[in-house]
Amino acid sequence: MKVSDAIIRCLTEEHVEVIFGYPGATVVPIFEALRKSGMKHILTRHEQAAGHSASGYARTKGNVGVCLATSGPGATNLITAIATAYMDSIPLVAITGQVNTYQIGKDVFQEADIRGATASFTKHNYLVKNSKDIPRIFKEAFYIARTGRPGPVLIDIPLDIQNEEIDFSYPEEVDIRGYKPTVLGHKGQIKRAIDLIHESKRPLICVGGGIISSGAKVELKEFVEKAGIPVVHTMMGKDGINSDSDFYIGLIGTHGFSHSNKAVSKADMILLLGTRIADRATIGPNFAKDAEIIHIDIDPAEIGKNLGPTIPVVGDLKNILKDFIKDIRDAECGEWLREIQGWKKSIEEPAASERYVNPKAVLKKLSEMAEKDAVIAVDVGQNQLWSVRNIEISGDRRFLTSGGLGTMGYSIPAAFGAKTASPDRQVIAVMGDGSFQMSMFELGTIAANKAKIIMVLFNNYGLGLVREIQKNLYGDGNFCGVEFGHCPDFVKIAEAYGLKGKKVFSNIDFENAYKEAVDSEDTYLIECIVDPKESTF
């Protein structure tokens, strides 16, 4: 069998249904094999979008997302998407074409050392040197991407290898020396952890993205209700717990709520579940200084990296939470929970405005109006922080954002990937005017595939979050490089792609436009005019 056909066979063996990609000379044999196979390929308008769409797809489907690009600029255009997936532990397999084996290292046309370039932000990567290795490499790549702490794996395949012949047989087992993720928690550590929880008077759970990666949301809910422990979360842990839970407290960290951060500072025990607890989740060196820490993560490298000392428990959260549920005593930390909830009530409700859309109020409204299982893909900037603070999670609602790398331009392709994974689900993308302009060409992919997405664009005429930082550091008006000086007609851009849209100036206009967007068959862009002075908090 020709290697290019074998590649598609490997993807079929891995139950891949769709590939997001962009062609070029060094992947022409793979595209020919794709054509013959009938496997679905979606042509994006940029390789970065192919990577982000594969990410949105993976996060919605709970499976590995696949993207494909040519050598040189195609491969380098994928880099940001791969790094974004790596920081957020999203399982991807990225396939790139490479120049012919005998040309490697000679700086021929469209040669780039993508293996070297992505070494530090792929979970693993391969340059295929022997065509016979193809089935093993694909088997391993998918296994590595989806097991343990998920992440992106890159396979770089030279053009001449794609045209060779091999005897195809797909391995049944994977045996990778040095890669044996621990999935079951150590019984002794679990017992120590449970004892500490029982001793604690002011316990707190902090949820990260690991709850979603491990599919442990149901187990978390059961554990929280049994143990009676209040829950805070990081950016990536947003959809790990529903906001209507009695135990829900809110976002922590630099952009979190003061009541959540106060709960962290008063807690005597914090149970970290699948979180790196990185800088954005903490508020300085005194973070959780009075708390004993139990840290559960599938990646032992995360334990003690940012916070310790700890009772470490390495393993898959779903398994470990099941063990916890068995042995934890039914408890009520009623007084402590009420105390935190008392602090929570002191938050001011966002004010309504006449001249502008108030993003905070509108996102609360959106939470009421959106379907309970909607996938909401959110970009980066003030729009991300308004969203994580004001969108409510209920039912199976999902919150997709670039938490770790903070990649502008994520929301549109990720929303498209989500819609591709779940065509019957409502998909909403929230973004700023800057982030929209980083991925607006993907309206073409959306239109070509007749994907219906509700887009909410907060136009505050500039790079709001950076403008706010400049204002806080250097004084109001001392801005540099944060205002575009030209604002296109965003609604007309949507219309140019055959899509719909409306520009709105008030909260009530937003509500009406949202209803139109729900009724529309096509993707619908709601451009919300926001006061450029609107703050994050």
Ligand X SMILES: Cc1ncc(C[n+]2csc(CCOP(=O)(O)OP(=O)(O)O)c2C)c(N)n1
Residue 325 is a binding residue for ligand X (CB under 6 A): no
Structure tokens that stand for 270 in this block: 């914090």
For Mg ion, the closer CB: 24 or 434:
434
Cα separation, 4 vs 27, in Å, equals 9
Nearest residue to Mg ion on Cβ basis: 432
Cα separation, 121 vs 94, in Å, equals 12
- Between residue 350 and residue 379, which ones bind ligand X under the rule CB under 6 A? 379
Structure tokens that stand for 10 in this block: 């490997």
Rounded to 10 degrees, the C-alpha dihedral 271/82/439/277 comes to 20
Give whole-number Cα distances, 81 to 97, 219, 438, in Å: 17, 31, 13
For Mg ion, the closer CB: 315 or 434:
434
Of 303, 380, 428, 504, the one binding ligand X by CB under 6 A: 380
Task: For the CB of residue 520, give the shortest distance to ligand X in the complex, in Å.
Answer: 24
Window 101-140: contact mask with ligand X (x via CB under 6 A): ----------------------------------------
For ligand X, the closer CB: 210 or 256:
256
Of 44, 60, 234, 407, the one binding ligand X by CB under 6 A: 407
Number of residues binding to ligand X, judged by CB under 6 A? 18
User: For ligand X, which stretch binds (CB under 6 A), given 247-255, 268-276, 405-413, 505-513?
Assistant: 405-413
For ligand X, the closer CB: 141 or 357:
357
Rounded to 10 degrees, the C-alpha dihedral 467/470/471/476 comes to -90
Residue 466 is a binding residue for ligand X (CB under 6 A): yes
User: For ligand X, which stretch binds (CB under 6 A), given 24-32, 212-220, 380-388, 499-507?
Assistant: 380-388
Note whether 424 and 451 are within 8 A (CB). no
- Which alpha helices (DSSP H) does 130-253 contain, by range? 134-146, 159-162, 187-199, 210-213, 217-227
- Which alpha helices (DSSP H) does 379-489 contain, by range? 382-390, 411-421, 433-439, 443-448, 464-474
Note whether 510 and 365 are within 8 A (CB). yes
514 binds, among ligand X, Mg ion, none (CB under 5 to 8 A by kind): none
Cα separation, 2 vs 265, in Å, equals 61
465 binds, among Mg ion, ligand X, none (CB under 5 to 8 A by kind): ligand X
Task: For the CB of residue 159, give the shortest distance to ligand X in the complex, in Å.
Answer: 31
Note whether 7 and 142 are within 8 A (CB). no
Comparing C-alpha atoms, which of 351, 359, 356, 382 is closest to residue 504? 356
For Mg ion, the closer CB: 95 or 430:
430
Residue 381 is a binding residue for ligand X (CB under 6 A): yes
User: For ligand X, which stretch binds (CB under 6 A), given 135-143, 210-218, 269-277, 401-409?
Assistant: 401-409
Structure tokens that stand for 421 in this block: 């994974």
Note whether 68 and 19 are within 8 A (CB). yes
Of 367, 401, 460, 523, the one binding ligand X by CB under 6 A: 460
Residue 448 is a binding residue for ligand X (CB under 6 A): no
Comparing C-alpha atoms, which of 29, 339, 349 is closest to residue 158? 29
User: For ligand X, which stretch binds (CB under 6 A), given 66-74, 455-463, 494-502, 515-523?
Assistant: 455-463
Task: For the CB of residue 532, give the shortest distance to Mg ion in the complex, in Å.
Answer: 8
For ligand X, the closer CB: 261 or 382:
382
Question: What phi and psi, each to the nearest 5 degrees, are found at residue 49?
Answer: -65, -35
Residue 88 is a binding residue for ligand X (CB under 6 A): no
Nearest residue to ligand X on Cβ basis: 432
- Between residue 428 and residue 447, which ones bind ligand X under the rule CB under 6 A? 432-435
For ligand X, the closer CB: 102 or 484:
484
Classify strands 427-432 and 375-378 as parallel, antiparallel or unpaired.
parallel
For Mg ion, the closer CB: 51 or 462:
462
468 DSSP β-pair partners: none
Of 23, 171, 300, 406, the one binding ligand X by CB under 6 A: 406
Task: For the CB of residue 484, give the shortest distance to ligand X in the complex, in Å.
Answer: 9
In the complex, the residues that contact Mg ion under the rule CB under 5 A are 432-434, 460, 464
Cα separation, 164 vs 131, in Å, equals 7
Binding site for ligand X (CB under 6 A): 379-383, 406-408, 432-435, 458, 460, 463-466
